[in-house]
Amino acid sequence: MSRLLLFACILIIAAGCRKNEFVADDKYALLSITPVVNKDEATVAHHESYIDQFKIGIQVTNSKGSELYFHYTRNLLLSYSDTWILSKPVCLSVIHAKLFAYYPYTQNEQNLSGIGETALVYLNIPNEQIMAQQIDYMYASQSTYLPTGGGPIDYANPNVILELRHALSLISFVIFKEDFTGPGKLTNIEIFDVSDSSGLTINSLGGDKLAMRLTDGTIINGNPSSKISVNTVESSITESTDPGVDETQLQTMVNGYMYVVPSVFSDRSKIQFSLTIDNKVYTVTHTGVGELTWLKGFQYIYKLRLTQTSLSIVNIIITDWDVNYGGEIIIL
């Protein structure tokens, strides 16, 4: 659609809002959304401009999240073209609105269910993935024009800063070599839960589909799996000294990573990591005793020491992955 045609459509919709039964005293304004996302570098690829390539699903409801604001506001596309644009303009009135959002956008209506507080988007998290093709699923639920400290979304506050949050946990590995003479090519990562009842979750093999609630990012359904893995990691281990525990530095040194459904494990000693390095499989057991929890929106950095004969966990650094910023995004 040309800019001129789009502008004309906006004018027509805005003019039509004056006659809409929900609008009083000619008070109306077009909804404008600017998303903000996590700035932390969690992968080896990181580009400031990537946010402009985001395609985000938007649902606009009343302030209670019980009804659509208009009949067509169930699954709008928010994308960037010089500015952030909704696939269909939404004219706000004195009626307060609430926004629900998810990333990445799906055009297939069968991948969505419910409205507002009951809205779900179905996920695709198999037990085997290619590292670069993993999806960083995000969500938002917001009734103010700012994430905090703002008033209600309506004709008086139509410009919304929308805060996207991460629904998954990020498991990362930083590896350094000690008395290791090989090239250190990392190709595959596997996480095992060898307990009787695994805390790892993947796509449903039958029954209710794996899904994310837009209201709070909770992931429901799916099936337990004793193993999840990523392949085609294609990373070279180059560090020859312990890189320390500085979170910011470690986030730039990640050799491989895996997005997982937030999990609770009753016995952390049942969690194992297997990494294929130079075509040899190294397996290490999680350190410590008792319950282990991987929370959504957190990055768990496992710092590993690689020798000629073994792989061992040196430190585990847990960092809040929900620092928000409007200018940078991770390339997946």
Q: What is the helix, strand, coil percentage profile of the chain, to 5?
A: 10, 45, 45
pTM confidence score:
0.87
User: pLDDT means per 10 residues in the chain (332 residues)?
Assistant: 47 49 68 78 40 90 98 97 95 98 95 97 96 93 92 97 93 95 96 95 91 97 96 95 92 93 96 97 96 94 96 92 39 30
CATH class of 169-207+222-322: mainly beta
Q: What is the largest CA-CA distance in the chain?
A: 77
Q: Which residues pair with 38 in a beta bridge?
A: 324
| Distance in angstroms (rounded) separating the CA atoms of residues 309 and 147 | 50
pLDDT in the model for residue 53:
81
pLDDT in the model for residue 285:
97
pLDDT in the model for residue 319:
87
pLDDT in the model for residue 50:
65
pLDDT in the model for residue 106:
96
pLDDT in the model for residue 17:
61
**CB 263, CB 169: distance < 8 Å:** yes
**CB 189, CB 230: distance < 8 Å:** yes
| Distance in angstroms (rounded) separating the CA atoms of residues 93 and 14 | 11
pLDDT in the model for residue 284:
97
CATH class of 3-20+27-165: mainly beta
- Domains of the chain, by residue range, sit at 3-20+27-165, 169-207+222-322
Return the structure tokens found at 322: 């929900």
> Tokens 């003019």 map to which residue?
15
Domains 3-20+27-165 and 169-207+222-322 share a fold: yes
